[in-house]
Every structure is written in C-alpha cells, then in structure tokens.
Chains A and B, each alone.
Chain A
Amino acid sequence: MSNSKVANSGKDATSAYNVEAVRAQFPIFEREIDGQPLHYLDNAATAQTPRAVLDAVAVHDSRHRANVMRSIHHLAEEATEAFEAARGQVAQFLNATSPTEIVFTSGTTGAINLVAHAFGGTLQPGDEVVISQVEHHSNIVPWQMVRDRIGITLRVLSASADGAVDLAALQAIVTPRTKLIAVTHGSNVSGAMTNVAPIVAAARAVGAKVLLDGAQRAPHGPIDVQALGVDFYGFSSHKTFGPNGVGVLWGRSEVLDALPPFMGGGEMIRTVTLDETIYAEPPHRFEAGTPPIAQAVGLGAALAWLCAQDLTGAARHEQRLTGRLIDGLDDIDNNRGLIRLIGPRELDNRLPVVSFAIEGLHPHDICQLLDGHGVALRGGHHCAQPLMDFFGLTGTTRASVALYNNDGDVDAFLNGLDDVIKLLKP
C-alpha cells in the first residue's frame, strides 16, 4: 500500500447509518485480493449479494425446486407460489398496480428487447422512436434493429455537458409521429439522473409511450412507476443485489394487454392447435419457456432485503462517499488539469457513479493498477460508445458506490489512483 495519503477520513460521518453492519451481511467481503481487503467499487456493473439472498436461492433449489405453472405435485405448487410471490415483491418495489404488470426477463437488456420486438412490431414505417446519446447500448441497438426491420425513424436527444439527457431540444424532437421515448432513468457513465416529467409530458402530448431503463436506479431503493407516469420500466437483478440471469420489465396493464408476444413457446399460451394459438394474458404472454425460477425468488429476496435497510441513511451515506470521490479527484488533480470528471458535480439528484478521464492515461491501465490495490473498478466505454463520442473519449474510469461501501474503499481508491498517476505520469 502506498505511503501517499490523499484522504483518510477515519470513521463514517453519517454515524446513524451503520455501514459495517450492512457490509457484514455480504460474504464476499470476507475474502482478500492478493492479500489485501476487497474494495469493490464496480457496483454499476454488478452488485454483490447478501447472505439473505444466497440463502433464499439455496433453500429454493434444495427444498422447492420444480417447474412452475405446469405440474400439480407438491414441489411444483411451492415453486409456483415462490415465483409468484417474487413477482408480488417486485410489484411492491415498483408500486405497480398489480403483479400482472411484472414480466420476468433475463435482465434490463431482455426487457428492452422485449419491448423493441413486441411494441416495436406494432410500429409502421415512418413512425418515430426517440432515444438519447446518453443511453447504454442496450437501449440503442434494439431500436436500430427495429429501424432496420420496419423502417421507423430514430431521433436522438443529445447529452448535456454533465452527461445527462439534454431536454433542450425535446419539443423539437418529439413530433406527432413519435410513438415511444426510450431513455435511461440514470446514466451508467455519468451518474446523472434524467428529468423524467418533461419527457412524459411531451410523450403524452402526442400519444407516445415512455420507457425508462432503470438498471442504475433500481439498486438505490423503491421506484414509483405510477408517480413517474411512464409506460415501461426495466431493471436487472444482478445490479440490485440479486442473482444473475433475471430481470424485470414492468408495463402498464393497458399497454401490456395490447401487445403481441415476443417469443413463442410454453407458458405463454392459453390454447394451441396445429392451426393457431391463443395467447395467455400478461404477464405470462411474455414469459415463453421455463423462467429463471430460483433467480426470480432470489430477486424477490434481494428487494425485500433492500427495502428492510435504512435507505434514507444509505442514500446520505452514498452521497457523502460520492462527494469524497469527487473532492478526492480534485485534490489529486491539484489544479493540473489532468483529471476530467464526466458527470455532475452536484451531489443532489445524482447516482453514486463517478466517471473520470485522465489525460494520456487509458482506463484499463488505471483499473489494472488499482486492482493491485484490491480496488475493483470499471474502465472502458461502459457500453455507451455514443456518449464517449460526445465527450471525445474512447473510455472513462468509473467508481460506483453501493450501500455497503465504506470510507476505507474510497481511501484505497484515492491513494491507489495517486500512485498510478505517479507511476504512469511521473
């Protein structure tokens, strides 16, 4: 470990929030990386999983494993009940009007692709879908595929200087041909939150639907889709302290009711003859094949666990750590103009995702060297190459905070980064 000390705050200032008690629930933090504590700051890519979730999945697979909505034996009844209970947990997390609005998918990418195929399949040549330059590739590529398949027009809201969806041109970009506005709820690169209300108002004015990519927002607590006023919302389990392989598409009931299925197969039907198929009602219409059952149960457990935490204290804690990261980058930079923050400086209404670029240093070199300090970061284009193009970068380095990160993680990152700069830019 370095002798340099950029920052070392010691005890958490938000003493009411007991981060160590939260952290102790995550077995991963018992391990070391090359003899050093693990400082996991790659939460925007995948969050770690608490023991409660690991146990829930293990109990399901060891006690209740069976397929759902098929067999009538004891285990199948239990599996179906657990699977549907998880759906109910998700509905509660999102303040959906009914669990039938919750479709289990493979993740946020699966959710958006589902909408792109099912809703996208109802579009006509010349119809318009609005996305933004801030989007993750998973909210760009599916719409380009719809464009190429159907002949719709893609219109793009620009990014703002702090990496948010720029709404300055919203009224000009949304037209009577607009059928959907699909944007991120919060950026996986800049951490900037999207101002959703004007987007919903603009969409409503022309009868368009709104989809939010909630992959980055969901790990920070419950979401009220009714208050947001959107039509589709997607998020991923693995970023929300749950298992891999499952995610969620929420769709407003009347919107889901009107959509054709995406994939065909078992579970999504009411009746099949060799001539035709009558499809099941939502959400099963959109869940062809055996779903990720234990994973959905794990997601339900993750959301229950998350909602049982002190989320007000966690939000304050995450915000304070975000401030320490940004201030620490400023301290390291020391007015040399080396480090460029990609994201808002303001701490209110932003996600605890801090991206930055250092002139002449590649993010992979920074991440590789910080890995040697036990610090896990993400470097690269973050599946957001159009946003990288906007900033004239090929990639950024990103530190992303979750409710279990502590001051020691921030200290390790800042001290390690100071060492990296001394090595690579002596």
Chain B
Amino acid sequence: MSLAVDERSWLQRHRMTVTPLLFLLPGVLFFLVYVINPIIQSFNISLYEWDGLGTATFVGFGNYEELIDDRAFEISLWNNLKWLALYLLAIPAGLLIALFLNQNIIGIRIYKSLFFFPFVISQVVVGLVFSWFYLPREGLLNAALTLFGFDTINVLGDPKMATYGIIAAGLWPQTAYCMILYLTGLNAVNPEQIEAGRLDGAKGVRMLWYVILPQLRPATFIAFVVTIIGALRSFDLISIMTNGGPFGSTRVLSFYMFEKALSEYGFRMGYGSAIAVVLFLIMLVFIIYFLWSMYRDERAARH
C-alpha cells in the first residue's frame, strides 16, 4: 500500500489558514503603522527633550519626573477623573429619556429627533451655545437665576465650577447618544418576557430592573464604551469654552498634552509625549476591560 500523496500545492493545502490571514493582512498592516507605531514612537519621544526642530537630547525618565510635581498635570489628571465619573451620568439619563420616548403616540418621531438633535450638531457648536448660556452678564443661566432671586454666577470664570460647567455641556449630546442606543435596544426587548413578568406580578421599577435591563445589557455595554471614550477624548469643548482656563483649571490630559506639544507656546515634544503616554496607560485599563468582556461574551456565546 502506497501512501496517498497529496498532489495539491502548499497554498491549496493551507488555504483554510491562509485565506483569513490574507483578509486580516490589510487591517493588521494599517493597525501596525497607524496605531502601534505611534504608540512606540510616543514612548520613545517621551524620553527626550526635543522642540520638534533641533536635535533631541536623551533625558531618560526626566520628563516623567517633572510630571510628578507639575501642578498643572495634577489638575489635568483630577479633571480627567471628574470627566470619567460624571460623564457616566449620560447612561442613566439616556435610559430615562429612551423609556419615556418608547411609546406610540402621534409625532413621536419628531420628539425623538428633537432629543437626538444635540448629538447631530458639532461639539464646537455645543461649546459655543453653552458658553453663551453661561455668559456672566448676558447669559440665559444668569437671567434665570436673577428671575428667581439668586445671585448671578460666572460658571466658566470660576476655577471651582468651570470643569463641571463644561461637563454639563458635554452631557447634553452624550445623553442623546445613549438615548438612541437604548431606543434601538428597547425595540429588541422580547414582549413575551414582559408579558410573563407581568403575569408574575412585576411592574414599575422591578419590571425595569429584573426584566428589561438584563435584556438591554448589550446596549448598556456599548453606551459605557462610547461614554468612557468620549470622556477621555474631551478636548473640543474645553478648547472652545475656556481654552483650559481660568488659569489652567479646566485642562484635561489631552488638552495639556496639546498645549505642551503643539500650541503657540508649546513645542516641548518630549514632555507632551510623556503626558500622552500617561493618558494612554489610563485608557489601556479600559481598553483591556472592554476587550476582556467582549472576549468573555464571545466565549459564552460559543458554548
């Protein structure tokens, strides 16, 4: 008995392995060039003192040592945490509006689009609208406060309030975004389960918590992901509304990095890169969590 010689070429024999790899190749290539490479470069530059023009001097971890007692960096870091924590309010707020809008009455589409509107307009416009809203003398907010007999406040001019003022502006479009995610999620809620729950006597909050929310888990997950990413990317609103001020009290890491590396008075590439690396490490925590939970879900789906 002779051995059956496989007549097919190497490519034909391995095509089940080769084909997916070929399909992956362009994506992987772009990922390596545009994502992995800049990460390595940033880390590399962060070890140098460099103005972007002249020669770079190696300073080891000098930039990071400087970060440790840089107060502006500390403020930016705290502000980033405030953004992360408060921005998450968009998720319950979005859910609430979605539940409210999830009904069939005349003109519901118009109401839905009105609520969705802030997400459609550019962040720059949102920032402008809110900075007019907060204007110390002419702003609508102070007009309302005076009407009810309160003292006027200068939200964006007060270092204690300014960051919260910007986050509130950011929540407006972000809530709309979460709302739309939940609205689509609610369409997929199984009516039979609701019926069953109702027969078992569940209603109101208990119905929401035990029957509806578990079915909305995928929507919640996506809302969580986009909100966290949105919070860490908060740059345009800050740039438009306060430009990091008053006296640097509203900076976040991404804005501080821009200021140090690329703005009019910046061009400390090494220092800016060091800030970028720190921001990346913070994001990495979330990225790992997201990847891990997606991996877990997929495994659960397969078994």
Q: Do A and B bind each other?
A: no
